[in-house]
Amino acid sequence: MELSVHNLKGEDTGKKVTLSDDVFSIEEPNDHAIYLDVKQFLANQRQGTHKSKERADIVGSTRKIKRQKGTGTARAGSIKSPIFRGGGRVFGPRPRSYSFKLNKKLKQLARKSALTYKVKEDAVKVVEDFTFETPRTKDYLSFLSALEANGKKSLYVTTELDKNIYLSGRNIKGAKVAVVDDLSTYDILNADSLIFSENSLSKINNQLAK
């Protein structure tokens, strides 16, 4: 499949790039692989620092609060018991890691499946490699408007991190700049408009077409 290459003003440069069918047009996109990869991505965002005080964490007297028998009520040995107000929580949350392992080939399949869906939705565009002399949000907004991506969730994928481009798009709601090496299935699916720099396409082809 071929796509036209646009310049910074959104004009067709006359150049064409070929998208690898092994990456952007696989025969059977795997929805379950996408689900697992997105699930892992979101799980890795969780800090897992939640903690509640259980019985052993409560500060309080350890004396027996009433005699064992003859009160007409249930026996009780500690004011820190979960049945009393101010007592510890039963089986409360503890700090833990939510991350889990996925095979490398499954993650590659998930990304290829997500890219295939985006191509089918006609949401992929290619631009010439460019940079800004200084960080300017106005320039990045003009770039998005030229590609009809302003006001949408956009993801601009570059070969290497360009500080001026990153700073220019940082304050725009829904706009994100990512490096090919950091591209995730979640970022691909979350974007309404997926914009690749010309050189980043060859790099992603080399990474996923193995």
- Using one digit for the tens of pLDDT, what is the confidence trace for 197-207? 988 988 888 88
Strand 193-197 versus strand 175-179 pairing type: unpaired
Tell me the C-alpha distance between 200 and 210, whole Å.
16
Question: Residue 116 has what pLDDT?
Answer: 94
Cβ neighbors of 184 (< 8 A, separation 6 or more) are 37, 41, 111
pLDDT confidence of residue 210? 63
Please identify every stretch of the chain with a pLDDT value under 50, giving residue numbers as ranges.
none
Two tokens, residue 87: 């007592």
Compute, in degrees rounded to 10, the torsion defined by CA atoms 38, 40, 45, 46: 130
The token pair at 18 is 């070929």
At 40, list the tokens.
Answer: 């892992």
